[in-house]
Amino acid sequence: MKQILLIEVSPRGKDSASRSVADTLAARLIGLYPSAKLIRRDLAAEHLPHLDDVTLRAISTKDPGEAERLKGAARQSDHLTDELLESDLLVIATPMWNFGIPSALKAWIDLVVRPGRTFRYGDGGVVGLAKDKKAILVLASGGVFTEGPWLPWDFVEPYLRQILGFIGIEDVQTVRAEGMNLPWLAAEVVPKANKAVEALAL
Ligand SMILES: Cc1cc2nc3c(=O)[nH]c(=O)nc-3n(C[C@H](O)[C@H](O)[C@H](O)COP(=O)(O)O)c2cc1C
């Protein structure tokens, strides 16, 4: 393990369940892989831009002249994509917001899911180019989504698994901190998720 990329999304600092569980996971990873480089990318602190016309052209043009002219506009996306491609393990620690991912995480995804860099169109369909990587999702939510009536409302884990698979990351484990807003569960949510971290195959 040479590089671990930890994406943190919640703006709730020390109150954040996903960050707290991600800290436990990071400590375990550092213990197991002391020489690995751990990059923490804090999407709550760093406001990534939504894709605009120029950036979109800069990251998708096939014209080398245009690519050269627009390379400044592609720089941030290039950097984030290189960072992902150079990592062996991707950890995404995120809250559920309105049954999906926060737009800050979507902005990161829009900057790194790129034709020619992280996927390409082959004869038989799409080929993921982010090979030989694993991912761990640390997902915090107010309700419970792994079972019961709210299960179909979870647009976080299915989406993240789908988009990671699309770019070639198929080995994905999930740790849930679920039930944060349910008074009869809340106190146990983070301790239970921390135990699940200890049980992960890393
Ligand atoms: C803007 C917003 C939207 C939320 N939407 C949902 C939701 O759709 N479903 C849910 O179960 N919890 C929802 N919650 C609760 C959070 O998922 C919960 O507080 C979780 O602990 C947030 O993660 P964090 O503690 O890492 O910040 C929402 C919270 C906020 C602030």
Residue ID of nearest Cα to ligand 1 atom 29: 97
139 Cα–ligand 1 center, Å: 10
Assign residue 109 the CATH number of its domain.
Answer: 3.40.50.360
From the alpha carbon of 9, which atom of ligand 1 is closest? 26
Verify whether ligand 1 is closer than 6 Å to residue 18 (CB atom): yes
pLDDT at 89: 98
Nearest to 145 by CA among 156, 159, 136: 156
Domain that holds residue 80: 3-199
94 Cα–ligand 1 center, Å: 9
> Tell me: the pLDDT tens digits for 3-42?
999 999 999 999 999 999 999 999 999 999 999 999 999 9
181 Cα–ligand 1 center, Å: 8
Catalogue the E-assigned strands of 28-184. 37-42, 89-95, 119-122, 125-128, 134-141, 171-178
From the alpha carbon of 145, which atom of ligand 1 is closest? 11
From the alpha carbon of 15, which atom of ligand 1 is closest? 25
Number of structural domains, the chain?
1
d(CA 57, CA 70): 8
Nearest 5°: CA angle at 92, between 99 and 146?
A: 45
d(CA 88, CA 31): 16
Burial degree of 124 (CB within 10 A; 0-12, 13-18, 19+): exposed
d(CA 124, CA 133): 22
| Percent of the chain with pLDDT strictly greater than 90 | 98
Tokens at 21, concatenated: 């569980």
> Tell me: the pLDDT tens digits for 133-173?
999 999 999 999 999 999 999 999 999 999 999 999 999 99
Verify whether ligand 1 is closer than 6 Å to residue 99 (CB atom): yes
